[in-house]
Structure 1
Amino acid sequence: MPQTPHQRAEAELTAYGLSFPEATSGPGWTITRALYVRKKMFTVFGEKGERLDALTMIMKLPISAEMAEELSFVRPARGWYKQHNWVIAHFGPDDDIGAEMETLKGWLKQSYVAVAPKKLGRMLD
């Protein structure tokens, strides 16, 4: 059972993401964890050297990427990430990730719809 609020949040978000049609989980890049739809990554959890009481998430947000950049827990995206509307949310040990769960679930859904084949994406509407 996850110990920290960040680990519990990741477990809850992963379970939510896996409820989407044809969603699977697996390794991301190096030490990260990811959610996929038909072998296309739609969310990445973690980053190199991340502590157990922190969580980083990377998601594709074609609708709300600009708005998301204004939030305190969103890191500035650069290069390919910014060009393709991927957002990097980071929660440190002192951040209340629980207060942002509804936002993160909405972003997870938006990222899934952006990456999934249209037929699958429409199943969430």
Structure 2
Amino acid sequence: MVDHLPVPLPILTRLNAICLGLPEAYEEPAWTGTRWMVAKKNFAHVVMIDNGWPPAYAEAAGTTGPMVVLTFRLPIARLAAPKFSKPPFFRPVWFANIVGAAIDMGSDWEEIADLLTESYRVLAPKKLAVLLDRFGD
């Protein structure tokens, strides 16, 4: 078995602070990396691409790594924005509304928080998503 680089702890810590601040969100290990869920739906997933592994992520991001990538969901209409078709963003083919982004500690964490909140809103039950409006995101 080949060992692959893990997602750096400082990045996981930042993502946890964002994702676990959302109503009823929880973290769990994914088949690789870490994912954040709401109502059994994955609204964020972080993976370290290393030496071309995992291959589906390496192909989608166009790199063999090492690179940390975060995938999340957005409303399909929002995906028409040109920014989502150029780095650090990429478009995996798994779902029509999925987006990926290469991230590191120098990333715009305010933007990442906004994107993850929007991803949560796309997948959360309405009774939870409405709480974001009530508390001002």
Unaligned runs of 5+ in 2: 1-7, 54-63
TM-aligned CA deviation for residue 54 of structure 1: 3.2
Change (3 A) 1:108 1:56: same
TM-aligned CA deviation for residue 27 of structure 1: 1.4
* Same amino acid, percent of matched pairs: 27
Q: How does 1:18-33 map to 2 (within 5 A)?
A: 18-28=20-30, 30-33=31-34
* Structure 2 match to 1:77: 92
Letter in 2 for 1:59: F
Tell me the SS of whatever aligns to 1:46: strand
- Cα distance in 2 between the residues matched to 1:106 and 1:14: 14
* Structure 2 match to 1:118: 126
In the superposition, the TM-score normalised over structure 1's length comes to 0.76
Q: Is the 8 A contact 1:7 1:52 kept in 2?
A: no
* Structure 2 match to 1:89: 101
* Structure 1 match to 2:44: 43
- Cα distance in 2 between the residues matched to 1:8 and 1:52: 18
Tell me the SS of whatever aligns to 2:132: coil
Change (3 A) 1:7 1:39: same
Indicate the structure whose relative CO is greater, using CA pairs within 8 Å and at least 6 residues apart: 1
* Structure 2 match to 1:15: 17
Equivalences, count: 112
- Cα distance in 2 between the residues matched to 1:10 and 1:73: 18
| Residues 43-91 of structure 1: CA deviation (Å, up to 9, x unaligned) | 001145379973100000115323241342012332x32x2x1101113
Q: Is the 8 A contact 2:20 2:26 kept in 1?
A: yes
- Structure showing greater radius of gyration is 2
Where has structure 1 moved over 4 Å in runs of 4 or more? Answer: 50-53
Unaligned runs of 5+ in 1: 1-5
In the superposition, the TM-score normalised over structure 2's length comes to 0.70
* Structure 2 match to 1:3: none
